[in-house]
Amino acid sequence: MASKCLRELIAEADERGLAASGLASLERCLPLLAAEADVLRPLWAGLAKGADGWTVALIEARETMAEADTGDEAGTLVRQMLDAAPPLWDREPLREWADDCSIAALELHHRLDAGPAVGEPAATAVVEVLKGCREGEPAGAGPLVAGELRRQLKVLEILGAGEGGAGLRQVLRVSTEGQRVLRAVVSRRSRVQG
């Protein structure tokens, strides 16, 4: 049986899977916000409680994140990912958020793969590459985008297996690994530019 594409996995996920998928994408992008590595830990704890813990933890995470330095356009986009999180534990808004976070994370990784975009043809090409990634045809994706795509797929597959708390711990490990990769890339780029 062929594995499902990212778009299909997001469409099939339940509330917990969607919230965790969006949160995992956000977690991996934190180095672009210059935020503390564990700033989202309360939200992970709230996620483990489901509907009972999500809203309160989301408010707390937003307050903590408000103190982080956005730095630039990429950092602002990361903060917007959190700001867009729905406060209610409801499948459709969570699906839309997880989908938006997936796209944003892939786009941010593409920016680091490719450097600054130049002109409209480049922007059109980015849209096509990211669309292909989500449809299971990642032709043209750079190594950072390909790695982020693998992590997004792995997160949704883990969550789809329904392993409860153990699954969430695995998802957090996958996201922490992705965060380390991005932090190293950001650090290397700032050394080169500095």
Query: pLDDT (tens digit, 9 = 90+) per residue, 43-69?
Result: 998 888 888 899 999 998 888 888 776
Distances in whole angstroms, Cα of residue 157 to Cα of each of 6, 13, 18, 24:
10, 9, 12, 13
User: What percent of the chain is modeled with pLDDT above 70?
Assistant: 90
Query: pLDDT (tens digit, 9 = 90+) per residue, 138-157?
Result: 888 999 999 999 999 999 99
A 10 A CB-CB count for 140 gives 14
Between these two residues, 50 and 95, which has the higher pLDDT value?
95
Structure tokens at 68: 């982080």
pLDDT at 153: 96
pLDDT at 42: 86
pLDDT at 115: 56
> What are the boundaries of each domain within the chain?
6-193
Would you say 135 and 141 are in contact if contact means Cβ atoms under 8 Å apart? Answer: no
Q: Which long-range contacts (CB under 8 A, 24 or more apart) does 35-43 make?
A: 35/65, 35/68, 35/69, 35/78, 36/68, 37/176, 37/179, 37/183, 39/64, 39/65, 39/68
CA distance 184 to 179: 9
Would you say 23 and 47 are in contact if contact means Cβ atoms under 8 Å apart? Answer: yes
User: Is residue 117 very low, low, confident or very high in pLDDT (cuts 50, 70, 90)?
Assistant: very low
User: Is residue 83 very low, low, confident or very high in pLDDT (cuts 50, 70, 90)?
Assistant: very high
A 10 A CB-CB count for 139 gives 8
CA distance 150 to 55: 29
